[in-house]
Structure 1
Amino acid sequence: MKRSILLFALAIGLTTACTNSAKQPTAPSQQPVAESIEVTYHVEGMTCDHCEQSIQKGVAELPGIQSVEANHEDSTTKVIYDPSQTDQKAITQAIEKRGYTVTGRP
């Protein structure tokens, strides 16, 4: 009896797995994809690796951020982002919220 229940359960599981894997993929979204923008900021107040990590963490929390590279040696922060999800003002505010000053772009 236990064996027939086990076989029955196995057969149902395989049927469900086959049915789910046969689903057709959905068509990709027809919305245009925004191109990424790369911006480098001059940031005053970075003096160490911890400063770099703080800025990178703060900026990375924003939506649409694809890459953040802060460098205390040349006082720059390079950001690649999706302009449909965030903007330069939000990025600047995220850096300044961490206690650093954005003085422009080198």
Structure 2
Amino acid sequence: MVKVIFSVSGMSCEHCKNAVEKALNKLEGVQTVQVDLQLGEVAISYDENIVTREKLINTITETGYSVI
């Protein structure tokens, strides 16, 4: 299991938080997702043998937010 923290711009409310969490939790291999709106960060624990870091970034981007 690997943990990564991304800085994400554009998240400002509970709806933003829920949208990112829901999208990431749908991915096979994602164990936990924690969004911190104040810091603008998303912490993800995942199995690197199942899902890639690139896929995580693409999923956040497809949700409408930018990984910095």
- TM (norm. structure 2) is 0.97
- State the identity as a percent: 26
Q: 1:89 & 1:74 partners in 2: Cα distance?
A: 22
1:59-70 equivalences in 2 (<5 Å):
59-70=24-35
Counterparts of 2:27 and 2:55 in 1: how far apart (Å)?
8
- The residue identity in structure 1 corresponding to 2:58 is Q
- Using the alignment, how far apart are the partners of 2:14 and 2:41 within structure 1? 13
> 3-state SS of the aligned residue for 2:38?
coil
Provide structure 1 residue ranges, at least 5 long, that are not aligned to the other structure: 1-35
From 6, 11, 19, the counterpart of 1:54? 19
Which residue number corresponds to residue 39 of structure 1? Answer: 4
The root-mean-square deviation of aligned C-alpha atoms, in Å, is: 0.5
Q: What SS does the aligned partner of 1:93 have?
A: helix
Structure having greater relative contact order (Cα 8 Å, sep ≥ 6): 2
Query: Equivalent residue of 2:50, what SS?
Result: coil
In structure 2, list runs of 5 or more residues that go unmatched: none
By percentage of residues, which structure has more strand?
Answer: 2
